[in-house]
Amino acid sequence: MLRLRSNRSRAEGLGGNTQASRGWKGAIDENVYIFVCARFAPARLRAIFFSLVPAFPFFEMKLHDTFGRQITDLRISVTDRCNFRCVYCRSADSENYRPSDELLTWTELERLARIFLTLGIRKMRVTGGEPLVRAGVEDYIARLHAMGVEDLSMTTNGYLLAERCERLVDAGLKRVNISLDSLDPAKFERITRTKSYAAVMRGIDATQNSRLAPAKINAVLVRGINDDEVEDFAGFARERGLIMRFIEFMPLDADKHWTREAVVPATEVHSRIHVRWPLEQMANEASETARKYRFADGTPGEIGLIAPVTQPFCGHCSRIRLTADGKVRTCLFSKDDHDLRPLLRGGATDEDLRHAIVAIVLEKEEGHRINTPDFLAPARTMVYIGG
């Protein structure tokens, strides 16, 4: 999609997806939105049009899908390797990683990040696998920071975080999400299939004592495994002054054990915490995945509820994902990947890649369809997609 700005165009940033939706219907104030559907435009006309774009400074290429949503968030998976085997993500059986030459190099990842920035991406989150197992991740964070990424974060299991936290801060990282699915060391071992609880807790402590504070702690709740710890997790948020986020179990596990009965609904989590410690809802952007709450008694700490199964937020989705092997996924549950690696390694120019990405985003699904009878779980599991 292309956005055509008049010379009188005011500062952008307000309105988010609401503004994008209005733009879909027509001009707003001094701004004119032009939505070019690449899937329908004749190839020759499309090529001529795009070839003229760089010559005109008032043309600004942005990522919009056919439902009027602007894409501003990119999750970048830098590796498919992980030192954990969490039950909701990876198989307990041995797996073959993709050959190293199939994964994007740091140079290729940097090039794509620069291109995505020109397309209006404001938020980038580095993920895995486990991103800290790949040597050079701090340097990559530094290069993203130098590009001017507005919101730069990372998701990690925390095992290596204590020893790397200072370097990540120095590189320019702004936020960190840490997975912690139990406060019971023995249960944590069963969930992650590792003996790493103490190391993760050290990583959380290091984060809380750094400029990355407050840490965002992610817990995937699975009925019969850790759903008895909801109140303990909320107490942990209060004690440490951190952000505790509860995520509904999604059908992305390699062992295919997901069932609807195993999902702990966000409404249940809210009710249980609210009875113990009354919660007040906080304002949030429409495109944010979490509904956010503070404690009514003023105690530090925050609760986030992410409910992709029982309360889907697809209508305001602003995210796409880049996998470690160079594939763009327009939805966490996409059936198909869009491979950029052949273009990257086949001599494509930045403009070629930019146009390819614009066309890919036009294929973004309206929603994930988990709650429809014809839903099929994606072939890739979470570790190969990136969180």
- Is the pTM for the entire model greater than 0.75? yes
3-class DSSP assignment, residue 247: strand
Can you give the residue ranges of every domain in the chain?
2-61, 73-315
Tally the residues of the chain: 387
Cis preceding-peptide flag for 241 (omega within 30 of 0): no
Q: What is the pLDDT along the chain (387 residues), one digit of tens a residue?
A: 444 333 323 222 323 333 333 332 333 333 333 444 444 455 445 444 444 444 444 346 789 999 899 999 999 999 988 888 877 666 545 566 778 899 999 999 999 999 999 999 999 999 998 999 999 999 999 999 999 999 999 999 999 999 999 999 999 999 999 999 999 999 999 989 899 999 999 999 999 999 999 999 999 999 999 999 999 999 999 999 999 999 998 776 555 676 878 899 999 999 999 999 999 999 988 778 789 999 999 999 999 999 888 887 677 889 999 999 999 999 877 778 899 999 999 999 999 999 999 999 998 888 766 666 665 665 655 555 555
Q: Is the peptide bond before 131 cis (omega within 30 degrees of 0)?
A: no
Segment holding 159, helix H or strand E? none
Round the CA-based radius of gyration of the chain to a whole number and report it: 21
Match 């999400």 to its residue by tokens: 177
Please give the CATH number for the structural domain made up of 73-315: 3.20.20.70
Contact 117, 128 (CB under 8 A): no
CA atoms within 13 A on the CB side of 171: 19
